[in-house]
Structure 1
Amino acid sequence: MTTMNILKTFTAALVATAAAMSASAFAQQPSPDAALIRHGEYLARAGDCMACHSAAGRKPFSGGLAIESNLGTIWSTNITPSRRSGIGGYSEAQFADALRKGVRADGTHLYPAMPYPSYAKISDADVHALYVYFMKGVAPVDDAAPVTQLSFPFNQRWGMALWNWAFVSDKPFAIPAGMSAEAQRGAYLVEGLGHCGSCHTPRGIAMNEKAYDGSDARFLSGGALNGWSVPALRGIPKWTREDIVDYLQTGRNAKASVAGEMTSVVFNSTSHLSDADLGAIAAYLQSLGTTPGAPAQKAATTDTAARLTAAQHLTLGERLYLDNCSACHVVTGQGAPRVFPRLDGASVVNAADADGLVHVILAGAKTPSTAKAPSVLPMPGFAVRLSDDEVAALATFVRGGWSNRAGAVDPGEVRKVRATVTAK
């Protein structure tokens, strides 16, 4: 081969390599929608869409979760971009109406198990990002979800138009005055996407939330959900900013661990939020005044710990606590920070309704596995080991021990909770 031919061959190889590298680099360039899809996915996490629109044995966002309500069972819908079974045929305007107004593309009204009264506050930019994510970042699933079939008159969905007129405002998010920029961001997340008021705000006779923003003292003042007393979030005077962030990020902190519905919220939603957004949520919650009429925290006494330590002339509840609970929660009721939750002063212990505490005693609980706290910390259930009378005695002791001053528990209450645990 001549020198000229060698040079030509070498030059051709260089050109081919450069072209291949250029093509590869071009192929690796993110699409214009990639960043928007990532942002939409983050917003979907903040809105906890996964928890309601996914069910065991079904693909993500394909619906099929049974949501129990006072009206009957409401089945979550398929929100994948399937044109057959999901929302693939929705325009962005129709998507926004479903999100903010609770109206499907065909004009049918949704039930407020879909938290559209809160989602009404989502900004246009965030609605657009969510739309792009669900249309381009979620895999379509043609598997249809079960259809909600409530009894008369609740199956008359047109009546939801009247309910919306009476109880829901579609006004956009109003930035609270007098707050730091951080707390204002927290207000947007808590009042809107996070829809925290859906569980933590009391409801009226028509199952309407009594308030939708922090300007009303009833907002986040506590409520009830599926037999559990839901604690107030206003001010959270017993918790530091770090306590709030830790709880939302890992499902545990130095004082408490998640249980009930909040376990799913942490696993699917809040554990995926940025440190900045979790800090903003904490700042907003702490900026709110405490719930009117909330009882003042009483000082812990040493009497309970002393009696348990002496282990003499114990009541049935005290004996059951020593035999079943003290190894983790110890005789002081303080537990172990970030491992075993504190019982002294715990909201689930001091709730007006003891069903949540009884449920935990019967069924147990476990923390979710999150990025910053991957280990799962389980508490065993005692439904098989303890009778209704024994659970009632144990719960009564815990609700009255240390600084706790909650009421006694009747075996009949335990019997009702046991029936729901057995059913599940």
Structure 2
Amino acid sequence: MKTLTHFLTAAAIGAAGVASAATAATTAATAAAAPGQTLAQRGAYLAKVGDCIACHSAPGKPAFAGGLPIDSGHGIIYSTNITPDKVHGIGSYTEQQFADAVRKGVRADGTHLYPAMPYTSYAKVSDQDIAALYAYFQSGVKASPYAPPESKMGFPFNQRWGMAFWNFFFADGKPFKPQPGWSPQVRNGAYLVEGLAHCSTCHTPRGFALNEKASNSGEAKFLAGGELNGWPVPSLRALPRWDQAAIVDYLQTGRNKNSAVAGEMTAVVQHSTSQMTVADLNDIAAYLKALPPAPASGAAVKPQGRDATVKKLSAAVNLTLGERLYLDNCSACHFVTGKGASRVFPELDGATVVNAENPTALLHVMLAGARTPSTDKAPSVLVMPGFGKRLSDSEAAALATFVRQGWGNTAGAVSEKDVAKVRAKLEAK
């Protein structure tokens, strides 16, 4: 079962707000099919940009036939069948009905989709790209008669008509609008990020009603990071520790010279960003680097502590429990420097996930491990083993505390209670 975090990260066809996206069509380089490319072929590419397969495909079921269970926190939502089956899918949809489902969040029968779908992002998809997606899902996808289970939401969330009120207060149905001064490359990157790639669904902070607190690049909180389902989500604004090439490398392969993908972003890289063209990935990177940086969050990094940590770990004398556990379990890959190996073992010194105020993501990786996706540019899968069965709660807390306070890191200590909470969630899955 997927969590709402995954749903928001990799949700596919769904939307909010009707919009005539003529502005996007004339300003975004991706609005038209490439020379020699049919409309359906263009749509197939766009479906990868939108990561449609991730939520609309369930294990053991045909692609795009739906049925993936998503734990919303208020009940279970099952993704819909978006194959061209005329009974259980969207085979009987007209293009306008398809557009309404994608950009208004309303199905052909008038039923509202739940706002866990990234409506405000898909409202910005251009008319041309909607037409391409429609052509692909009608002619390029194999029809499946599978009928997904009905969503099982508790009251009052099972009253779908109430979604109209949520949309009224929180959904911005405006078309994509480029900011003054953007180059064509940055405009296209912004169109992809704000629209089909729906990066804001995880990387923009949310309000009390799970509403995004910003809807476009002109707002300071857009892509500024936050927390979702207990996980710290980093800011994407400017990405000061990465240059443009590092961003492209990460999106294309799931790793770069500083870091490696983990958690829900793994599926996004595998099914979506690794399938995008180098030109589009460079446009996305240029756009992210063009954004003004967000206010600093998490603990500050102080380089002056690095030498002391390296010296003590190298001497291996009078070690604390956390330091001893690091040498026994981590140093073979991340080394006494905490710098790891470029494109193989991620850096721990200065890493965002390490210095986040909330240690949940770090603890999750420590206990459950992580593995990079296999992509065309990086087919080998790199695996970090999980240490959940090897470390007690007190040992994991001591190790995490050392990592968060060693080298230049200055994050807060981790308690046994913090570890126990993450372990309980992992065991529940």
Corresponding position of 2:302: 298
Return 5+ residue gaps in structure 1 as ranges: 1-31
**1:42-57 alignment, distance < 5 Å:** 42-57=45-60
Q: Amino acid of the residue matched to residue 124 of structure 1? A: D
Give the whole-Å Cα distance in 2 for the aligned partners of 1:105 and 1:171: 21
1:327 matched to 2:332: yes
1:280 to 264, 283, 294: 283
Contact 1:46 1:269 in 2 (8 A): yes
Corresponding position of 1:234: 237
1:351 matched to 2:359: no
How many angstroms does 1:33 deviate by?
11
1:201 matched to 2:204: yes
1:309 matched to 2:314: yes
Give the whole-Å Cα distance in 2 for the aligned partners of 1:352 and 1:61: 37
Contact 2:176 2:191 in 1 (8 A): yes
User: Once the two structures are superposed, what CA deviation does each residue of 1:29-58 show, in whole Å capped at 9, x if it has no partner?
Assistant: xxx997111100100001111111112211
Give the whole-Å Cα distance in 2 for the aligned partners of 1:353 and 1:299: 22
Query: Does the residue aligned with 2:332 lie in a helix, a strand or coil?
Result: helix
Corresponding position of 2:4: none
**1:77-226 alignment, distance < 5 Å:** 77-226=80-229
Corresponding position of 2:30: none
Give the whole-Å Cα distance in 2 for the aligned partners of 1:250 and 1:225: 24
Contact 1:118 1:191 in 2 (8 A): yes
How many angstroms does 1:142 deviate by?
0.7
Query: Does the residue aligned with 2:152 lie in a helix, a strand or coil?
Result: coil
**1:14-53 alignment, distance < 5 Å:** 35-53=38-56
Please report the RMSD computed on the Cα atoms of aligned residues, expressed in angstroms.
1.4
How many angstroms does 1:79 deviate by?
0.8
How many angstroms does 1:373 deviate by?
0.2
Comparing 287-296 with 393-402, greater Cα deviation is found at 287-296
User: Once the two structures are superposed, what CA deviation does each residue of 1:55-101 show, in whole Å capped at 9, x if it has no partner?
Assistant: 22111111122222232222111111111211111111111011011
Corresponding position of 1:375: 380
Give the whole-Å Cα distance in 2 for the aligned partners of 1:229 and 1:145: 32
Q: Amino acid of the residue matched to residue 54 of structure 1? A: S
Contact 2:301 2:410 in 1 (8 A): no
2:61 to 37, 58, 70: 58
1:392 matched to 2:397: yes
Give the whole-Å Cα distance in 1 for the aligned partners of 2:218 and 2:183: 16
Give the whole-Å Cα distance in 2 for the aligned partners of 1:139 and 1:170: 31
TM-score, normalised via structure 2 length: 0.90
Contact 1:217 1:292 in 2 (8 A): no
Contact 2:300 2:410 in 1 (8 A): no
Corresponding position of 2:273: 270
How many angstroms does 1:326 deviate by?
0.3
Q: Amino acid of the residue matched to residue 94 of structure 2? A: S
Q: Amino acid of the residue matched to residue 330 of structure 1? A: F
How many angstroms does 1:285 deviate by?
0.4
Contact 1:53 1:78 in 2 (8 A): yes
Contact 1:329 1:340 in 2 (8 A): yes
Question: Comparing both chains, which one has the higher relative contact order based on Cα–Cα distances under 8 Å and sequence gaps of 6 or more?
Answer: 2
TM-score, normalised via structure 1 length: 0.91
Query: Does the residue aligned with 2:195 lie in a helix, a strand or coil?
Result: helix
Change (3 A) 1:33 1:242: closer
Q: Amino acid of the residue matched to residue 318 of structure 1? A: E
Return 5+ residue gaps in structure 2 as ranges: 1-34
Contact 1:248 1:278 in 2 (8 A): yes
How many percent of aligned residue pairs carry the same amino acid?
62
Change (3 A) 1:172 1:195: same
How many angstroms does 1:128 deviate by?
0.2
Give the whole-Å Cα distance in 2 for the aligned partners of 1:201 and 1:72: 23
